[in-house]
Amino acid sequence: MEMPSKKARTDPLHEDQIITFSHKDLDGLQTPHDDALVVRLVVANFDIGKILVDTGSSVNVLHLETFEEMTLGQERLGPAEYSIYRFSGTSVRVNGKIDLPLTFRTYPLQKTILTTFMVVDIPFTYSAIIGRPALRDLGAVVSTPHLKMKFPTPTGVGEVRGQQMTPVLLSKPKRNQRSGRELHDR
């Protein structure tokens, strides 16, 4: 299989926009944090949460369950020309691929791009993964410390803020009244 050549994409309408992050972008965040950038986006007119922005992923991935909930129809899936691999190096069976409009927004600064998703049926914490292909096409700049991505739009710089994870508070272990030993819930 021949891979398409990489070409620099320039958008002359937005080349003068400067994207920066500052301390103002930290407002409302609990810092420091180690949270992943998890966002809510519009995929084919469906408002979908729990989407992981993964700058390490070479593909955009849509979970089969999410695809089925969108009721777009299995017949819209095209064949996938290649396999995708997990971090561990094991391959993942791709059910098919589909091109869908993907909207990044904080109204009125929003942008929609056509994105190719690989549809997979594996245990998955997220509804989808937005990888480098979509981020490139969007012209996005991602900042993990700010839990935010910014991108050029015709009317200025748009942004999408991630959903910060709520810390899990662990309770103190219970003690057995008679022995004084710690009990752990299983």
Q: 91-116, pLDDT tens digit by residue?
A: 999 999 999 999 998 888 999 999 99
How far is 36 from 1, CA to CA, in rounded Å? 33
CA 112 to chain centre: 15
On average, the pLDDT of the chain sits at 85
How far is 94 from 73, CA to CA, in rounded Å? 16
Which domains can be identified in the chain, with CATH numbers? 23-183 (2.40.70.10)
Q: What pTM value is reported for the model?
A: 0.80
- Tell me the pairing of strands 94-106 and 38-43: antiparallel
Tokens of 125: 């914490």
Q: Which of 43-52, 98-107, 157-166 has the lowest mean pLDDT?
A: 157-166
Is there a contact between 155 and 108 (Cβ–Cβ < 8 Å)?
yes
Q: 2-35, pLDDT tens digit by residue?
A: 444 444 444 555 668 899 999 999 999 998 999 9
- Tell me the pairing of strands 128-130 and 109-120: unpaired
How far is 81 from 94, CA to CA, in rounded Å? 9
Give the phi and the psi of residue 74 in degrees, each rounded to 5: -60, -30
Closest CA to 106 of 48, 45, 149, 50: 149
The helix or strand, by DSSP H or E, that contains position 133, with its residue range, turns out to be helix 132-138
Specify which of 85-89, 126-130, 176-180 reaches the highest per-range mean pLDDT. Answer: 126-130
Is there a contact between 105 and 150 (Cβ–Cβ < 8 Å)?
no
